[in-house]
Amino acid sequence: MAVRAGVRLFKRTPSLGGVESLIEHRRSAEGPSSPVPDDLLRLSIGLEAPEDLIADLEAALSSVSRASRVGTSIPPEDLPKESAGGSAVADAVVAAVERSIAPLVIARGGAVRVVGVDGCVVTLEAHGSPGAVVPIIPQIEQLLRAAVPGVSDVRMVWPGTSPVTDGAGDLTARVRRLLDDEVNPAVAAHGGRVSLVDIDDGRVLIRLEGGCQGCSLAQVTVRQGIERMLRAKVPEVLGLVDLKDHRAGTRPFYAPGKR
């Protein structure tokens, strides 16, 4: 599923009789009763240049390999002993993440792993666009609580970051700190960056750059990811405005039409 989410030239859809190259995960389409192996992807080759398709697949495979440390849960025995919260709880949390949460996030183009179980608090590390993870954090918490009744709170961080919890500084400083400390490390995995332009009467003006400019999921990142994070952690924020001309993007992570 992660390879399917990482390709850029292949369309992620069943055959529609067109001339585009397609990639399909049959087990997802057919459901749990499908006899098709879970690790099988079906490719239909279209009219694109063969070398471009090969490069696309190699890049997706390489990306999955690099992200594997983030996309899978840390085994309970590798969790810090001082924060393991008991081997039984850690075992149950890791199993729940691997069974139901990681596939859910991967299907949205991200990845997640367990980085800590401290008593009743579980810390997960997310990888990829905030738009892939932030909207389903309540669902993730619900799934974990149902699987492990002792879990009381789920905290989400991105690689190399810690949650912004203090309210020190003026509005501009707090928004810039959240963008730099939480948003940009997340979108950097897709070659992107978000720059703060201005704040006008509670509206935050930003520019999406790099792999985010022209990306077909840019509005998902903005509306379902960045805006939700800002409004939840900086109450003065009333809305978010993306000033970038996405038609001018030269290297979008997901090319237009590739979703």
pLDDT category of residue 85 using cuts at 50, 70 and 90: very low
Rg for the chain, CA atoms, rounded: 19
Site of tokens 């990845």: 111
What is the Cα–Cα distance from 190 to 159, expressed in whole angstroms? 13
Structural domains in the chain? 2-68 (3.90.1150.10), 72-157 (3.30.300.130), 171-248 (3.30.300.130)
- Which of 244, 199, 200, 203 is CA-nearest to residue 221? 244
What is the Cα–Cα distance from 247 to 255, expressed in whole angstroms? 11
**pLDDT tens across 176-217, in order?**
998 988 888 888 877 888 999 999 888 899 988 888 888 877
Q: Token digits for 135? A: 């909207």
**pLDDT tens across 7-35, in order?**
778 886 666 667 888 888 776 666 656 67
pLDDT of residue 166: 45
What is the Cα–Cα distance from 161 to 180, expressed in whole angstroms? 10
Average pLDDT value for residue range 69-77: 53
